[in-house]
Chain A
Amino acid sequence: MASLDDLKKRIVSVKSTQKITKAMKMVAAAKLKRAQENAEKGRPYSEKMNNIILNLSSGISDKENSPKLLSGTGEDKVHLCIVLTSDRGLCGGFNTNIIKKAKVYFENIKKEGKVLKIITVGSKGYDQLKRVFNENIIEKISFKDSKNINYFDAEKVGKIIINSFEKKEFDVCTIFYNKFKNVITQIPQAQQIIPLKASEVEGNSPEDNYEFEPDEDEILSNLLPKNISTQIFKAMLENSASEQGSRMSAMDNATRNAGEMVDKLTIEYNRSRQAAITKELIEIISGAESL
C-alpha cells in the first residue's frame, strides 16, 4: 500500500489538476457565449446568399452553359475534401468526431478508385490525418495567429479552392465541420459545395421574376465564388462555437472526475492513517502486556 506521504502528494496533484480544468471550463463558457452569438449573427448572410443564388439559378435559361461552379465539371473523378478542425486540443471528441466522419468518406472514395485530395484547416486535423492520408494532403492551413474568426481568413481558403478548381484540379469539393446544435451535441457534417447540391438549390420554389443587372450568368459567375467563401466562413463559425461547447462539457466532466478522485483518495488516506495509529497502539499494548 502507498505510504501516507505518497497519498497526500497525489491528492494535492489531483486538486491542482482540478483547478486547471475548472478554469478552462470557465474560459470556454465565456468564449462559447461569444462564439455562439457570432454564429447566429453570421447566419443571415449565408442564408440570404443561398436565397439569391436559388432565385438566380432557377432563372437561368440555358442550363447547359451555366457556370461550372454550379453544375460541376460533369465528371466525378477527383474529390477535394476540406477538413475544418481546431488548433487546440483538450476539447473532448470535437476533432475526433470530424476526423471519424471524414475518414469513412475517404475510405469510400478510395474504394471507388477515385482520386482523393485533402486540405486541412486547423492543426489538429492535420496531426490526426497525416498518419494514414499523408500522401493525399495537398495543403495545410492554420489560423493560429488570428484571434477571432474573420471573413478574411475564410476568403483565403475560398480563393485556394476556386483557383484549383479553375485549374481543373478536382471535380467535387466537400467540407467537413461540426455543426453546433447545443452545448452537449455537435453534429459532424459533410457538405458538398462544388457543384452545389441540387437538393439545396431546389429547396423552395422562387416566387418572383427578377430583373437582373448585368445578366444572370454574369451575376452568378461572380456570386458563386463568394458563396464558397461564405459557406466556409459559416462552417468556421459553427466550428468555433462547437469547439468551445465541446471543450466546456469535456472540462466539466474532467472537473467532476477529479472531484470524485479526490474524495476516494481522501478516504483511503484517512483509512491508512487510522490503520497506522491502530497498529502503533497494538504494539504498545502488547509490549506493555509482555512485561
Chain B
Amino acid sequence: MSEEFKVEIINPEKSFLLKEDVTEIVVPAFEGEMGILKDHISIISFLKPGIIKIFSKSQEENYYVEDGIMEFKNNNLSILTSSIFNIKDMDKNKIEENLKEAEAQSNTSDIDDQKKYLIDQKVEVLKSIH
C-alpha cells in the first residue's frame, strides 16, 4: 500500500500548490508542530507563524506561513492561508524588514497574550531562516 496522500495549499488569489505524492508533512499548528502521515484522523487546526515542511519521495520543500487554517480529511490535506512563501524565493532584505516590524510589534504593550504569542513565534521563525 502506498504511503502517499494529497496536499493542497490555497491562498485567496489562487491554488498555490497541489501535490499528490506527499509522504509526510510537518505543519506549525497552534499548539506546536504537528507531523501528519497518511490515514491521520480528521483534524482541523489553526496555524501559527512557522515553516511547513513537505516531504515526498524525491524531495523536501519548505514554506513559510504567517497564519492560516488546515483541514485533514480522507487523506486530503488542505491549507488555507493568506500569506505563504517558498523559503527559497524569500528575499533576505524582506525577511529582515518583516523581522524588525514583528519585533517592534512585540515590544508594544497594548496587545493581548495570544497575539503576543503569535508575534513572538513569528520573530523566532524569521530569525531561524534569516
Contact = CB atoms under 8 A, between A and B. Distances in A.
Contacts of B30: 213-214
B73 to A, nearest CB: 6
A66 B42 CA distance: 22
Given A41-B15, A44-B10, A214-B31, A52 B46 contact: no
B46 A150 contact: no
A96 to B, nearest CB: 29
B12 A211 contact: no
Contact of A45 (B10, B29, B31, B41): B10
B78 interface: yes
Contacts of B44: 52, 55-56, 210-213, 219
A109 to B, nearest CB: 31
B113 interface: no
A263 to B, nearest CB: 46
Given A48-B71, A52-B71, A151-B82, A211 B42 contact: yes
Interface in B9-38: 10-15, 29-31, 34
A214 B34 CA distance: 13
Contacts of B104: none
Given A45-B80, A213-B30, A223 B73 contact: no
A151 B43 contact: no
B45 A42 contact: no
B119 to A, nearest CB: 15
B42 A210 contact: yes
Given A48-B78, A151-B82, A223-B69, A210 B10 contact: no
Nearest to A209: B42
B69 A212 contact: no
Contacts of B31: 213-214
A241 B100 CA distance: 38
Interface in A181-240: 208-214, 218-219, 222-223, 226, 230, 233
Pick the most buried of B10, B15, B31: most chain A CB atoms within 10 A of its CB: B10
B78 A42 contact: no
B12 A233 contact: yes
Contacts of A52: 44, 69, 71, 80
Contacts of A219: 44-46, 69
A163 to B, nearest CB: 15
Contacts of B43: 210-213
A137 B31 CA distance: 43
A49 B13 contact: no
A38 interface: yes
Contacts of A208: 42, 73-74
Contacts of A41: 13-15
Q: 3 shortest A-B CB distances, which residue pairs?
A: A41-B14, A151-B12, A213-B45
Interface of B: 10-15, 29-31, 34, 41-46, 69, 71, 73-74, 78, 80, 82
14 contacts: A41-B14, A45-B10, A45-B12, A51-B71, A52-B80, A210-B44, A211-B42, A211-B43, A213-B29, A213-B45, A214-B30, A214-B46, A223-B69, A233-B12
